[in-house]
Copies of this chain bind each other. A is one copy, B any other.
Amino acid sequence: MNTSIATFIKEKRKQLKLTQPELAEKAGVGLRFVRELEQGKQSVRLDKVNQLLDLFGSELGVIQKTD
């Protein structure tokens, strides 16, 4: 994917018709974290992001920069 982490999660969440509180609950992370992440906060913890991505069968990995 070429989308940012933020938009990826936001779009996947909507595909499953979940609200932010519901996603946070399912992933076992805080609501604040979901919100900040979807708003593009960079200084987030890697393991927390992976907790969310895991719900979508994905994870963070090294990719080539496209610029």
Contact = CB atoms under 8 A, between A and B. Distances in A.
A15 interface: no
A45 interface: yes
Contact of A61 (B1, B46, B54): B1
Contact of A58 (B44, B49, B59, B64): B64
In the assembly, how many copies of this chain are there?
A: 2
A60 B58 contact: no
Given A46-B46, A57-B64, 19 more contacts: A1-B62, A3-B62, A5-B60, A5-B61, A8-B62, A42-B46, A42-B50, A43-B46, A45-B46, A46-B49, A46-B60, A58-B62, A58-B63, A60-B60, A60-B61, A60-B62, A60-B63, A61-B62, A61-B63
